[in-house]
């Protein structure tokens, strides 16, 4: 299964400059997702992080992973933000950064379901660049109905 940016926008409520998933290349409902983010020098955060040595902030790498998890969660339970649902990032454990993510990189986002129960999901996540580990984490998301 492949999702382009138009379908991704149906499954994520985020918009520029905070939509951090460009394409989904693999998705197995209830199990796993592989997606990517093309990192461009035009990203607004590079103006300040850091002007002479641009590096994607680690918290945004985690956010990109969480967004991929949100897509997997929404697909698994067959719901959409348009139905009044949202996935909140509620926790991260075992976070480790192994290499910086820089302009020109394609950040591959991988998440595998560890468990899901009553709208709380835990995922094993990895972000890589050219097969090299950039970040790994366990991410916890919660599905909530919003008004």
Give the residue among 76, 60, 144 at the shortest CA–CA distance from 109: 60
The full length of the chain comes to: 147
The active-site residue out of 14, 49, 52, 53 is 49
Give the containing element (helix H, strand E) for 58: helix 58-77
Strand intervals (E) in the chain: 23-28, 32-38, 85-97, 106-117, 120-129, 132-145
Q: What are phi and psi of 99, to 5 degrees?
A: -155, 150
Residue 49 known to be catalytic = yes
The set of residues, in sequence order, having a beta carbon less than 8 Å from that of 102 and lying 6+ positions away, is 39, 54, 55, 56
Q: Which residues are known catalytic residues?
A: 49
């Amino acid at each position: 299964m492949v999702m382009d940016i138009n379908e991704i926008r149906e499954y994520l409520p985020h918009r520029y400059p905070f939509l951090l998933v460009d394409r989904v290349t693999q998705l197995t409902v209830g199990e796993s997702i592989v997606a990517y983010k093309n990192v461009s020098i035009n990203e607004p955060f590079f103006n300040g992080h850091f002007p002479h040595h641009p590096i994607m902030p680690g918290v945004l790498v985690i956010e990109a992973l969480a967004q991929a998890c949100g897509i997997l969660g929404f697909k698994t339970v067959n719901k959409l933000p348009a139905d009044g649902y949202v996935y909140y990032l509620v926790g991260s454990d075992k976070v480790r950064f192994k290499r910086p993510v820089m302009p020109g990189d394609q950040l591959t986002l991988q998440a595998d379901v560890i468990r899901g129960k009553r709208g709380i999901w835990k995922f094993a996540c990895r972000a890589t660049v050219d097969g090299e580990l950039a970040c790994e984490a366990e991410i916890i998301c919660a599905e909530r109905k919003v008004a």
